[in-house]
């Protein structure tokens, strides 16, 4: 059974910029990469802010399965290991890959991230959720720039990999 794969890449050899079909990095690509890096930084800051507390031992022991922990332990759990850090890092890595491959992500990614951040700010007030507006705006800007240039954001057939 044959599997379809993309073109083979040689990671250590830079692309020849004079070749036909090679596309220079665009502003939209850079904005997409910047959004991914900012989301990774936000995840790291979130981890640093919640990493030092006394509940790690209790969580590793597994009492959530058998007994009621204090409210503070539950809140801290949902703030770090059960929170958005792991999905945030995964999303950032996917966005980073798209940007490095010369693509942007669909406009709804930035829009949903921004609406979620604003909704959380509405509920809890000014907080770290305001930082999520940075990657949201960068992603929206990248999507708008790509559309103006006539590029399809999620269609790899219309773009060349870098």
- The full set of domain ranges for the chain reads 27-50+73-154
pTM for this entry = 0.72
**49-78 pLDDT tens trace:** 877 877 777 777 776 777 777 888 877 778
Q: Determine the pLDDT at residue 28.
A: 85
Residues 6+ apart with CB under 8 A from 101: 156, 159, 161, 162
**128-149 pLDDT tens trace:** 899 999 999 999 999 999 988 8
Instruction: For residues 35 and 40, give the distance between their C-alpha atoms in angstroms, rounded to a whole number.
Output: 9
- Determine the average pLDDT of the residues in 7-18: 47
């Amino acid at each position: 059974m044959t599997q379809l794969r993309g073109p083979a890449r040689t990671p250590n050899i830079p692309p020849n910029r004079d070749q036909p079909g090679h596309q220079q990095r665009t502003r939209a690509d850079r904005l997409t990469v910047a959004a991914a890096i900012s989301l990774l930084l936000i995840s790291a800051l979130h981890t640093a802010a919640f990493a030092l507390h006394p509940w790690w031992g209790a969580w590793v022991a597994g009492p959530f399965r058998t007994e009621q922990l204090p409210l503070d332990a539950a809140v801290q759990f949902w703030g770090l290991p059960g929170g958005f850090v792991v999905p945030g890092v995964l999303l950032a890595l996917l966005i980073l890959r798209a940007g490095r491959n010369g693509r942007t992500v669909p406009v709804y990614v930035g829009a949903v991230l921004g609406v979620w951040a604003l909704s959380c700010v509405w509920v809890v007030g000014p907080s770290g959720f305001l930082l999520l507006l940075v990657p949201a705006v960068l992603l929206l800007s990248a999507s708008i720039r790509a559309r103006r240039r006539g590029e399809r954001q999620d269609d790899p057939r219309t773009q060349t990999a870098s």
